[in-house]
Amino acid sequence: MIKEILPYVIKFAIGLGILAAGSLAITLLTRALEKLLAKNEKLDGLISKFIVSVATKFAWAILIIVFLKQIGIDVTPLVAGLGVTGFIVGFACQESLANLAAGVMIAMNHPFKVGDWIQAGDKEGTVRELNMMATIIATGDNKQIVIPNKVVWGSPIVNFSANPTRRVDMVFSIAYGADISKARTVVLETLAKIDGVLENPAPVVEVSSLDDSSVGILVRPWTLNKNYWAVCFAARQKIKEAFDAAGIEIPFPQLDIHQR
């Protein structure tokens, strides 16, 4: 009885030894691959993790097949079955594969990074996390949105944080009877006193439209990206106060009716 079992025990023991040695080898190779990829500055951290993950899973699959073969299990039907199963799973997981492919494209092209304020399709917020399947953003009121990478990559991506400076676009309406040159001077003097407004590029203040009841004054100061909202809010308040102090009217919509 022992003589009959002994060959199987030896095979199993050798198989466990292969499994242990293979596990150690995979761990060492994984660490070596991570260090090698980390030295390549052109590779994004996300794509590096993806490569390591795929290589590790592939190595484990080979190790398990070798282990099963060592202990006497015929792996030929298993390998053939994996091919058919892989086709079925791939067909069933088209959405996931599309998100994975889009994640790779995002990692390779770097349209944004964690911490950037972006707009992808109709969603807008700060990027909190980026993985191979989805992009997670936080909206201005701190709601979390998980966007599939396929949707992100398939939509126009607006990155508000990409450049160090931004232009603040505003339009103020003044009455037709107001002095446009005076209004322009008031705006420029006011902008010069607001912290964060850059001198170069210089602010643009011009007539943008002649509306039914008012003249539109386009105001475009530049500021550092981090100061965008502070400058935007301050400019609106200060210019309104400066117009009031200078006697420049911001009119209500008016409609003149003439009766015969």
CATH of residue 234: 3.30.70.100
Q: The domain spanning residue 13 has which CATH number?
A: 1.10.287.1260
Q: What is the pLDDT of residue 56?
A: 81
What dihedral do alpha carbons 111, 115, 119, 125 form, nearest 10°? Answer: 160
How far CA 74 is from CA of 67, 69, 77, 79, in Å, comes to 11, 6, 7, 10
DSSP code of 226?
G
Given this model, what pLDDT does residue 27 score? 86
Instruction: Please report the pLDDT score of residue 67 as a whole number.
Output: 77
How many structural domains does the chain have? Answer: 3
Expressed as residue numbers, the domain containing 22 is: 2-92
* Cα–Cα distance, 157 to 108 (Å, whole number): 15
199 falls within a domain: yes
Contact 186, 180 (CB under 8 A): no
Q: Are residues 175 and 242 in the same domain?
A: yes
Closest by CA to 13, choosing from 72, 54, 86, is 72
Distance in angstroms (rounded) separating the CA atoms of residues 210 and 207: 8
- 33 vs 27, 50, 138, CA distance in Å? 10, 12, 33
Q: Could you read off the pLDDT tens digit of each residue along the chain, which spans 260 residues?
A: 566 677 777 777 787 888 888 888 888 888 888 787 777 666 556 667 767 777 787 788 787 877 777 777 776 665 555 554 554 444 445 667 787 788 888 887 889 988 999 999 889 999 998 887 889 999 989 999 999 999 999 899 999 999 999 999 999 999 999 999 999 999 999 999 999 999 999 999 999 999 888 999 999 999 999 999 999 999 999 999 999 999 999 887 766 677 77
Q: Pick from 188, 185, 168, 172: which is nearest to 230 by CA?
A: 168
The residue count of the chain comes to 260
